[in-house]
Amino acid sequence: MNARAHRSRQVALDRCLLLLEEAQVRGQGRIDGLLGAALRRNLERAGVIADHRLEGRRIDRVLDDIFALQAQLLGQEPEDSRHHNNSPNGA
């Protein structure tokens, strides 16, 4: 992958994180239709196709997924936030 494509994917994933974090600040706990559509557009720009519905999923779980995608893109091991919040299964 060339540097420009790599950077474009990073920007799209960063935008997903921003959308999710803004939703959390608004007190939203789950993904609704509008947020799901915006996330899907950005995931497509990042070259990722959502393999299941985003709507209804918990925002914190989707954040974990996006962080894992970013780590993959950077060639790093993904860090699972569930290990940091004292929740054995992240539920």
Give tens-digit pLDDT for 20-33: 999 999 999 999 99
Which position has the higher pLDDT, 85 or 12? Answer: 12
43-62 mean pLDDT: 89
pTM (two decimals) = 0.78
What's the confidence (pLDDT) of residue 89? Answer: 45
The residue extents of the domains of the chain are 3-77
Q: What share of the chain is helix, strand, coil (3-state, %, to 5)?
A: 60, 0, 40
CA distance 37 to 50: 11
Which position has the higher pLDDT, 83 or 75? Answer: 75
